[in-house]
Structures are given as structure tokens and as C-alpha cells.
Structure 1
Amino acid sequence: MYRTLQLIFAMLLAITVSAQTQPDIVFKTNGEQLSGKVTAINDADIRFRYTGETLDYTIKKSDIQKIRFASGREEVFNQPAIVNGAAATENSGDAAPAGDPHNKVAILPFSFIKDGHPQPDEAGQEVQNEIYNMLSKHAGVYEILQPRRTIVMLNKAGVTKDTYMNFTMDEICKKLGVEYILTGSISVNSTTVTSTGTSSYNDKTKNEDDKKKNSGTSSSYSTAKQNYKTVVDMKIYNDKGTSIYNQNRQAFWNDQDSYKSTVEYLLKRCPLYRK
């Protein structure tokens, strides 16, 4: 009897430990899945904490399809839309992603031109990631789409670098399921070359037949630095196609990466930035 109770206790303990190590999964209506811990469920939203973090995020119930708790129980909030008898997905033509676009922001890859030549896509995507990292820390009530997800959704909707100009900003907002789009360009052009140099003389004195003779060596060192003129253009559109922010600024510094501080300067003054 005692051994049986021990076995039952061990099984219950194993189930409890297993449940504690399994995360809650939040399935959003736009197809995104969040892994972590649901800390509270309110009338209009839930509180969610990512695995390994301590900050709670607020997610509207209207943006949630269902929650699969660590215990295995599921709670459904919104059924997926039905198209011709099948659940709608992001691949269903021009249909906008499900969910409320209010306060959602997508950052498009920037156009990056150096000395009049368009740079590879990776250069514009790097700027996109840098802006995401800056803005997501000061987003306030805004939800910033992850850059990779934005690119995937654009590709699925047929919005590529070659077809980008065939769509209006309100159409792109609809395809991404967002209220705002942040886009822009960076232009870097070589200008002057700054040369700097130093020289030195080493004087040596030696005695030879009680006569002093002087001898010495001289050396010089010079460097050349390429200077650049950088201009950053940044725009924000809403889902009506209206431009709510349109600024460009020339970088104060003349090094090749001076666009980074200029991007930060413009971001801090845009209507989406919260201190």
C-alpha cells in the first residue's frame, strides 16, 4: 500500500513539473503565435509575459484566436474567418490579415543608395531592423511588427521591390493589417578625402677624436580618410494613405555609418515615438 502511494505521488509530481515547464501558447488572429505565460484575463484583454522575461504585455482579446494553456486546456476567443468553407489564411488573395489594425505599425525595408548605386536588399533590411530595435523600446501603445514577419507578409501579398510602386500606402497597410507604415531611404555619397600626417626627427650626438658630430633620422606618417555626405528621408503613412510624418535630414557627421544617429534623431521626433 505504501509503495502504491509513493508511485501515485511520483506520477502527480511528474505531471505537475511537466505542466510548469510547458509554456502557454497564444494564437493571434493574424497567424502569429506567442509562447510564454498568460498572467491575467480581463474583460477586453489579457496580460501576457514572454518566456524568460518579467514584463507583462497587454493583448486585446479581439486580436486573439485562442489560448492553449500549459495544462493542455484551450480557450477560444475568435473563430477564424471562413472563405468558401475553409479557414482563411494569409495566402487568401488580397484579403487583409484578420484582427484589428488599430495602433499596429509595420516598418518597410529602406531604400539604400551609395554613390548613386542601389545597395543589396540586406542593406535596407539592416536599417529596417535597426529602426525596429530603436522604436520597439519606445512604442508605448503601438505594436511594432517584427521585420521578418513584415517581409514575409509583403512577399505573400505580391509586394516586392519590383512591384512596390504598383501599390498605394493604404493598400499596403491593408495587406499587412496595420494602421501605420514607416518607410524611407538613405543616400550616401563620397565627398572629399581628408589627409592628416605627422613627422619627427631623432637627433643623435657622438664623439669622434674629441670632435662632436651630429647625426639623426627623420620619419613621417600620414593617413587619408574618405568623407561622406549622408541624407536620411523618413515617412509615415496611415491606413487612409495620408502622410502624417515626412522629414529628411543631412547627417552631421561625415563618416560612412553616420546614418544611424540621423535615423535615431528623426525617430525621436516622429509621432510614433514615446519617451
Structure 2
Amino acid sequence: MKLKKTLTILFLVVLSTSITAQVKKLDKIITKDYQIIECTVTKMSDKTVDYSLPNETMTIEIDVSKIARIDFANGRSQTFAAAKNTLGAGSSSTIVSSETQDATFKINTIAVLPVPFVNSENLTNSEEMAKFAQNDIYNKLQDKSSNILPLTVQDLRITNSLLKKAGIDYKNIDETPIEELHKILGVDNIIASKVSYTVTEKQTSAAYTTQNAKVNNNKIKGNEATIANTNTQLIFDYHVYFDMYKNNSKIYTQSRKPMLKIKDSWMDTVTYLLKRSPIYVKK
């Protein structure tokens, strides 16, 4: 009986050790091109970081210049600053060109532009909706900040203030070259989107008959009345255009129509496109 109990305890200890080994926490290397590598960091130097993947013994080396941050399994994080651009013969920046980089240029930062919200029938542009849509995209990125690492989102007040100083607003944002917007906003990533729409009315009519009965001198008399009811429904037909730029190059472009034709259906489409963009990492 004692032997059986001892074997049971030994089995539970071995099982617990095995489970602990399986759920061992890993380090996370977050690269500047939006990849997250789950691994075990084995060695670090000023120029490189060595790591091994789960269940592998082979060591892989990665250049420090490619790393934005490392989140270690023990909870400590280390951020790697962008390499400075030293001007000289044959020198060039691997992040942005020397023309666009200055002291205020923010690496791994994404700016959300105002969203032209255009009625495609009369070509009117709504300032209120342009700012509302810009806020919607900004809030979606903020809510999912861990999914867009190593990117951070530039505050909308800064973005809109810089655009205003440059004489750019929701009306002429489409006419400004993306290279100029990178310089004005001082970021290396930009989201530029647009919503075109039409609104139509759909009327449905229904009629039904009512009958009132009255007993008088043992005779039943009835009056019939027909009531007509008309309902008006607004149909919103949206088309969302979504572009993403990194260092003056377009890295993602999509357009999509919402399945539903209701007032706020464009918001679901924006969410859909964001989650499928190259900056979004599922967890």
C-alpha cells in the first residue's frame, strides 16, 4: 500500500515537472518590421542578439539594428534606439532618407490622417464625419496597441495641428503627396483612408382592414375601415478605401464594401481592413 502511494506521488511530481516545462515562458523579440519572435535569448552584444526557437538547439543571430524591443520572460523589457544617420561618403539611413529625417522625426510611429467622407452623388465632404472617422481609426489602434508593436500612434492633436500649420485639411488631404505628409508629420508610417457613400430611401407600404360590429334590434351591423401604413428606411451604401504607407512606400492598399447597408456599417469594414494589414499581429 505504501509502495503504491509512493509511486503515485512520484508520478504526480514527474507530471507536474513536465507540465511546467511545457508552459515555460519565452522571450519575445519585436522587430522593426512588425514581427514577433517567441524564443529564448542566449547571448547579447552591442551588435547582435543570439536566440534559439522553442524545442530547438540551433542558435540564430539577429542584428540589433533590426530589433525594436525585447520582452524577456522575467518581465523585463529592453528597447533598442534607432541607429543615427551619419552623413558621409556612401552613408545612408536604413530607416528613412536623409532628406526626411531630422531631430523631430519619430521612428516606429504611425499617424492617422483625417478621412475624407464624400457623398458620391453631390461630392460634398463632411468635416464632422472626416474627424469622426479619423478618431474611430485612432481609437481602434489604441485599443489594440499590443497587436501593432513596435508601432505607437501619434496623438491626433499633434497630427491635426501639424496639418493645419501646413494648410492641409480634410478637403485637400488627397491632393498632398505622401512624401510631403511624411515630412510634415515627422513619422515613418501613415494611414490614409477615404469613405464614399450614397444614401437612398426605401419605402414599404402595408394596408389592413378593421371591422367594427354593433348589435341593434337583434341585428349585427358592421363597419369596415382600411388603414394604410408607410415605413421609410434609409439605405447607406458605403465604399471604404484604405491605404498604409511606410517611409514613402505604399505597403498595403485595400477597398471594401460593407455587407450591411446600415448607418455605421463602414466602421466594421475599417476594423476588418485594419486586422488584415501588415502592422497587425494576432495574439
Range of TM-score over shorter length: 0.5 to 0.7
User: Structure 1 regions of 5+ residues with no counterpart?
Assistant: 1-44, 46-55, 64-93
Matched, 1:209 2:214: no
**What is the CA–CA distance in structure 1 between the aligned matches of 2:169 and 2:214, rounded to whole Å?**
76
Matching residue within 245, 248, 268 for 1:261: 268
**What is the CA–CA distance in structure 2 between the aligned matches of 1:122 and 1:273, rounded to whole Å?**
28
The Cα of 1:143 is off from its aligned counterpart by: 0.3
Q: Residues 62 and 99 of structure 1 are in contact (CA less than 8 Å); yes or no, is this contact kept in structure 2?
A: no
The Cα of 1:109 is off from its aligned counterpart by: 0.3
Q: Residues 214 and 220 of structure 2 are in contact (CA less than 8 Å); yes or no, is this contact kept in structure 1?
A: yes
The Cα of 1:231 is off from its aligned counterpart by: 0.3
Q: In structure 2, what is the equivalent of residue 135 of structure 1?
A: 141
Matched, 1:242 2:249: yes
Q: In structure 1, what is the equivalent of residue 17 of structure 2?
A: none
Q: Residues 118 and 126 of structure 2 are in contact (CA less than 8 Å); yes or no, is this contact kept in structure 1?
A: no
Three-state SS of the structure 1 residue aligned to 2:227 is strand
Matching residue within 172, 186, 189 for 2:198: 189
Q: In structure 2, what is the equivalent of residue 227 of structure 1?
A: 235
Q: In structure 2, what is the equivalent of residue 98 of structure 1?
A: 103
Q: Look up the equivalent residue of 2:115 and give its one-letter code.
A: F
**What is the CA–CA distance in structure 1 between the aligned matches of 2:278 and 2:160, rounded to whole Å?**
23
Residue by residue, what CA displacement relative to the aligned partner does 1:20-51 show, whole Å, maximum 9, x if unpaired?
xxxxxxxxxxxxxxxxxxxxxxxxx9xxxxxx
Residue by residue, what CA displacement relative to the aligned partner does 1:94-145 show, whole Å, maximum 9, x if unpaired?
9866356332100000111013323232321110000011111113311011
Q: In structure 2, what is the equivalent of residue 108 of structure 1?
A: 113
**What is the CA–CA distance in structure 2 between the aligned matches of 1:243 and 1:172, rounded to whole Å?**
13
Cα 1:183–1:95, aligned 2, differ >3 Å: closer, same or farther? closer
Q: Look up the equivalent residue of 1:263 and give its one-letter code.
A: V
**What is the CA–CA distance in structure 1 between the aligned matches of 2:132 and 2:233, rounded to whole Å?**
25
**What is the CA–CA distance in structure 2 between the aligned matches of 1:123 and 1:97, rounded to whole Å?**
33
Q: Residues 186 and 231 of structure 1 are in contact (CA less than 8 Å); yes or no, is this contact kept in structure 2?
A: yes
Three-state SS of the structure 2 residue aligned to 1:256 is coil
Cα 1:60–1:157, aligned 2, differ >3 Å: closer, same or farther? farther
Q: In structure 2, what is the equivalent of residue 252 of structure 1?
A: 259
Q: Residues 104 and 178 of structure 1 are in contact (CA less than 8 Å); yes or no, is this contact kept in structure 2?
A: yes
Aligned 1:167-186 pairs, distance under 5 A: 167-186=176-195
Cα 1:110–1:272, aligned 2, differ >3 Å: closer, same or farther? same
Q: In structure 2, what is the equivalent of residue 119 of structure 1?
A: 125
The Cα of 1:238 is off from its aligned counterpart by: 0.8
* RMSD (Å), alpha carbons: 3.3
Number of residue equivalences: 192
The Cα of 1:167 is off from its aligned counterpart by: 4.5
Normalising by structure 2, we get a TM-score of: 0.58
Matching residue within 206, 221, 224 for 1:198: 206
Q: Residues 115 and 131 of structure 2 are in contact (CA less than 8 Å); yes or no, is this contact kept in structure 1?
A: yes
Moved more, 112-121 or 164-173: 164-173
Q: Residues 104 and 180 of structure 1 are in contact (CA less than 8 Å); yes or no, is this contact kept in structure 2?
A: yes
Q: Look up the equivalent residue of 1:194 and give its one-letter code.
A: K
**What is the CA–CA distance in structure 2 between the aligned matches of 1:95 and 1:156, rounded to whole Å?**
18
Normalising by structure 1, we get a TM-score of: 0.59
The Cα of 1:187 is off from its aligned counterpart by: 0.4
Q: Look up the equivalent residue of 1:101 and give its one-letter code.
A: K
Detail structure 1 runs of 4+ shifted over 6 Å in the superposition.
none
Aligned 1:154-165 pairs, distance under 5 A: 154-160=163-169, 164=173
**What is the CA–CA distance in structure 2 between the aligned matches of 1:60 and 1:246, rounded to whole Å?**
30
Q: Residues 200 and 220 of structure 1 are in contact (CA less than 8 Å); yes or no, is this contact kept in structure 2?
A: yes
Three-state SS of the structure 2 residue aligned to 1:272 is coil
